[in-house]
Amino acid sequence: MEKEKQNIAPICVIVVPCFNESEVIDESARVLVSKITQLRNKKKIHARSRVLFVDDGSRDDTWEKVKTLEKTYKHDIAGIKFAHNKGHQNAVYAGLMQAKDFGCDCAISIDADLQDDAEAIESMIDAYHEGVDIVYGVRNNRDTDTAFKRGTAHMFYRMMSWLGTQTIPDHADFRLMSAPVISALSQYQESNLFLRGLVPDLGFNSARVFYKRAARQAGESKYPLGKMIAFALEGVTSFSVKPIRLISCLGVLSFFVSIIALIYTITSVFEGKAVAGWGSIMASVWLLGSCILFALGILGEYIGKIYTEVKHRPRYIIEEQIGLSENPIAQ
């Protein structure tokens, strides 16, 4: 297999998830098509390689621009359009599955804003030729991010490591995956996708390519604080049951504290030191009430995921596609 990778130029599909990216998509297409043309000329990738834009139910004219770009760049651009917004992770997954059906040897996912360095794509292809199945793009410089975003991101990676989830620090969804990896990923049927945890969990041999994160050229970030928190919660609840175990530990701890409080109360009564006070009662009620509500919230997250999974609804519905095949697909 490694010998084949070294001698045969692979069909590579660059998967680009898009949501309201009308302001940057023209520049993204120009940069990425230029890159695959350069790699073709160097005989590093096959002539059938192309860029696949995945429109995640955009409300602007992103899809219209994708169709225009497909006509402009001919066989270098393809596109699929979701019937409804299904989220970034589903958009990446859909692009990878379409690339697999297209017959790719490897696929690279990269965001449309090109904050991830497109120049690193060649290094990923070189690693693929050396026999690597997964190549992670890792940021070694995040000066364009705010101090708050850098701090919370590192805190998230440390928390995921503590919870026992294998993630790659400072890696988003900029990665190369070989066809066997994509095929293995397609066997994961859960609706609640967290690819940053799923891909390392596959266990294929991997390498890292480092790059400097650039500033967004235009448009707004698609990951404001609210979405970042939701994404972190998705990652935690998709890959770890430790929060539920922590609730159990908290319950045991509360039991022992209550025993100590009971002993203290009985002792105070017999010694005649008992003082009726609403302060201590109110403090206890608020503490226990907040713990109970917090525990119910965590349990609710897990129950909600079970509810979503057992319905077996499609992850997404492809309304339209160009440059690959023409049949709408539900996954």
For residues 212 and 248, state if they share a domain.
no
| Rounded average pLDDT over 209-224 | 66
Q: Is residue 235 part of a domain?
A: no
166 and 190 within one domain: yes
Could you tell me if residue 328 is inside a domain? no
Find, among 3, 6, 9, the residue nearest to 41 by Cα: 9
Residues 146 and 277 placed together within one structural domain of the fold:
no
- Strands (E) across the chain are located at 12-18, 50-55, 77-82, 106-109, 134-141, 171-178, 206-212, 318-322
> pLDDT higher for 193 or 249?
193
Lowest mean pLDDT among 107-121, 124-138, 282-296, 307-321: 282-296
Instruction: Please report, to the nearest 10 degrees, the dihedral formed by the alpha carbons of residues 102, 107, 109, 113 taken in order.
Output: -80
Q: Are residues 35 and 104 in the same domain?
A: yes
Q: Does residue 149 fall inside a structural domain?
A: yes
Question: How many domains in the chain?
Answer: 2
Question: Which pLDDT tens digit goes with each residue over 227-273?
Answer: 566 656 666 556 565 666 677 677 667 666 666 766 766 676 666 66
Domain contains 184? yes
Q: How many helices (H) and strands (E) does the chain have?
A: 11, 8
pTM: 0.72
Structural domain boundaries enclosing 37: 2-220+313-322
CATH number at residue 127: 3.90.550.10
Query: Does residue 236 belong to any structural domain of this protein?
Result: no
Read off the pLDDT band of 306 (50, 70, 90): confident
| 171/35 Cα distance (integer angstroms) | 21
Whether 151 and 201 map to the same domain: the answer is yes
Show Cβ contacts of residue 169 under 8 Å, excluding neighbours closer than 6 positions: 138, 154, 157
